[in-house]
Chain A
């Protein structure tokens, strides 16, 4: 599966409070949740105004650290982001992305990708082409099981499908 999109770039240690501020935790409606994605980062206004469907997020180390809240990946996905590439992810955030079917990849070269770059990503092999700079990077491919869960639309859908078989 190849995903192509424009990059929104963020730094290291973006915690879940920046991704989805705690005060919105009582929200349950997915559209309402999506309205607050990345509200705690300095670039929030710009992001909210210009993010569009199929954009890709790129970040540094330890993305999604801090308290575990599934609102975080749900809000990002709700804003149309299809994939997050980061140098590394916090453990529970990583799990939450897979379980809620937001594609993620870990790539050591993530910092070479810049805000606004157009990139093309083969999520199975981890090949990343930077169409803006013509560079190529390699992300760690996701394991078979995690990929299957993400492609099924998340953990619950995956298990329901297995059950039907």
Chain B
């Protein structure tokens, strides 16, 4: 029988397990060999302390396959955070792992920019949005402290092979409509419990046309659908990107035509209008038109969902020569993105518009970062979650595309990007 992408990856990754027959299908349990174990400044320190408790000074399974990234509280904002980061740096030096310090950016983005992510890879990490790496045809999953601790020693981890939901997206995007609008529309339709434990495969002509940045926007928000991972078959441009970064021969991955799917959804997005997720759930989605005019206090452009160069460029085109009426915070996903934005004049546009550009990282995706809101304040954000209290008690967060966030900043109220 044909296999889905996740069935292929986990069949291959569990080959070494002696008790394994080669074919692993949805519902099976596997011990998969890991290609990469990633930790960040949040979650990482706990795992390291637990590692010390359980295994003392024992070396990790392979320091080259362990990466520590700093993306949350960077540079350290208080002593506790500084201490935690030191725990990570000390452990990395001792165990000879890879380390990406406070000057790099958001973890998953750093991993793929540095050639640590390939199709077929099995990757675990401490962030809930690891799964966006499915845009490269790799299986990446957010896990808990004990998982990381065990993985650091044994280099493998147990998984239940998930069922797969296929989402076919056809049609051409209208002007001012972006991949973020598509995934918000899907969230509206299948809700935040639409893919519990499931893998999701996105296909269709609209997906094929998408750049890497757009694909990442789609796959990152599989977390909000409660899914395990979101895959897009890597095409030539993705394979070329991975090849350039890894300097190795890369083999693509695709689902078999007779693979079994739990459900298949079809969307034609030709008539889709700009979408926005209203407080306090990512699936509380409306047309921007419906909430237009709602005054805002702040606009944030960035995060692992919409922090690529291309996202910043979309915002910059709208902001060019204009002024923001509200606090406008722009955060490139990584230093590589920041440099490209600087080189191409985006920083000038943002600064002239009255924006604040901070160092690359997760920024306003979670509390504890500069830019937090006061009670009753309202923000339009390009991030992925708008749960109650996540960015300040009593604050309201609307999730939208970089275009909608930029247009809303200029008007000081929620604004359809077509109208600016």
Which residues of A are at the interface with B, using a C-beta cutoff of 8 A? 26, 28, 61-62, 66-70, 88, 90-92, 95-96, 99-100, 143-146, 149, 154-156, 159, 163
Contacts and interface: CB of A to CB of B under 8 A. Distances in A.
Contact of A70 (B142, B144, B150, B226): B144
Contacts of B254: none
B144 A68 contact: yes
Contacts of A100: 146
B107 to A, nearest CB: 15
Contacts of A159: 150, 153-154
Contact of B158 (A62, A68, A149): A149
Given A145-B158, A159-B154, A26 B80 contact: yes
Interface string B140-183: 00111111011001100010100000000000000000000000
Interface string B10-53: 00000000000000000001000000000000000010010000
Interface string B111-152: 000000000000000001000000000000011111101100
Contacts of B80: 26
Interface of B: 29, 46, 49, 54, 80, 128, 142-147, 149-150, 153-154, 158, 160, 193, 196-197, 226, 228, 387
Given A26-B80, A156-B54, A95 B144 contact: yes
A61 B226 CA distance: 13
Nearest to B193: A62
6 contacts: A26-B80, A90-B196, A90-B226, A92-B143, A145-B158, A155-B150
Given A28-B49, A99-B147, A159-B154, A92 B196 contact: no
Nearest to B367: A22
B196 A99 contact: no
A13 to B, nearest CB: 9
Contacts of A26: 80
A92 B80 CA distance: 26
Given A91-B196, A156-B54, A159-B154, A146 B29 contact: yes
Contacts of B153: 159
Nearest to B160: A143
Nearest to A72: B144
Given A145-B158, A155-B150, A159-B150, A91 B144 contact: no
A53 B387 CA distance: 34
Contacts of B144: 68-70, 92, 95-96, 99
Contacts of B147: 95, 99, 155
A96 B146 contact: yes
B196 A88 contact: yes
Given A90-B226, A143-B160, A149-B158, A68 B150 contact: no
Contacts of A155: 146-147, 150, 158
Given A92-B143, A146-B29, 9 more contacts: A68-B142, A70-B46, A99-B146, A100-B146, A149-B158, A155-B147, A155-B158, A156-B146, A159-B153
Nearest to B55: A156
A119 to B, nearest CB: 25
A39 to B, nearest CB: 16
A62 B281 CA distance: 15
Contacts of A96: 144, 146
Contacts of B49: 28
The 7 closest A-B pairs by CB, nearest first: A99-B146, A145-B29, A96-B144, A70-B145, A70-B144, A155-B150, A156-B54
Nearest to A149: B158
B102 to A, nearest CB: 21
Contacts of B228: 91
Contacts of A156: 54, 146, 149-150
Contacts of A88: 196
Contacts of B142: 68, 92
A70 B226 CA distance: 18
A18 B197 CA distance: 22
Given A68-B128, A159-B153, A91 B197 contact: yes
B79 to A, nearest CB: 12
Contacts of A99: 144, 146-147, 150
B176 to A, nearest CB: 33
B358 to A, nearest CB: 23
A70 B50 CA distance: 12
Given A68-B128, A143-B160, A149-B158, A95 B143 contact: yes
A91 B226 contact: yes
A95 B228 CA distance: 12
Max count, chain A CB within 10 A of own CB: residue among B144, B145, B150, B154 = B144
Contacts of B149: 156
A61 B196 CA distance: 11
A159 B154 CA distance: 8
A51 to B, nearest CB: 24
A56 to B, nearest CB: 23
B204 to A, nearest CB: 26
Contacts of A92: 128, 142-144
A40 B46 CA distance: 23
